[in-house]
Amino acid sequence: MSDCLEYEIPSFERYQLASSGLADLGPWKLSDLVLCEVGEKGRLPDLQNYHCSPGSWREADFASLRIFIRVDDISSSDGPLLSEPNDTGITLPSPSRRETGFGNINVLTSHGDGLICSRPTELLDILKKLPERLSGGRTLASEIHQLTLDAPSEGLLRRILQADR
């Protein structure tokens, strides 16, 4: 184990750096690593609501919006495709995927929104194909409506993609 930690450059920051001509920086921030024991001996912290598995997040870009979807979740055909988190609302206090307490939120946007998706791979597919459907003067709102999503999911997708602007 190393005695320091390397900064993992977030994708949005990596994109901004690359567009400014600063690509392939590699680890450029380091921090000391301190190991300590917290709480009662043998008692582990509650990490039930902590979801940070770097390899399981996929990024979908839609215009200037960046959407991060955790695809390791088990898909469910029950319920709406998208729903709001019960305890936090759609706008999160922190956009960090390392933030604890997000429960089952598995969709984060660069605008600071967080949602629950029952079928992450289906959402990725929709976000990939949606720009292709916007030819011929069709509006984003009408194309989202053509997806035949349930009403709550359609509303949330329109909201995060800012289809009504």
Structure token digits, residue 6: 């390397």
Q: How far apart are CA 121 and CA 128, in angstroms?
A: 11
CB 20 within 8 A of CB 75: no
| DSSP symbol at 91 | B
Please give the Cα distance from 153 to 80 (Å, whole number).
6
Which residues are CB-neighbours of 124 under 8 A, at least 6 positions away?
Answer: 58, 60, 69, 71
Tens digit of pLDDT at every position of the chain (165 positions): 566 777 777 777 777 788 888 877 776 677 777 777 766 655 554 444 444 445 488 899 888 889 999 887 566 667 899 998 876 678 877 656 555 556 678 898 888 888 999 999 999 999 999 988 887 778 999 999 999 899 999 999 999 999 876
Strand 82-83, strand 107-109: pairing = unpaired
Dump pLDDT digits (tens) for 6-20: 777 777 777 778 888
Q: Which residue has the tokens 């380091």?
A: 30
Query: What are the domain boundaries of the chain?
Result: 1-40, 54-160
Q: Is the Cβ–Cβ distance between 99 and 128 less than 8 Å? A: no
Model pTM score: 0.64
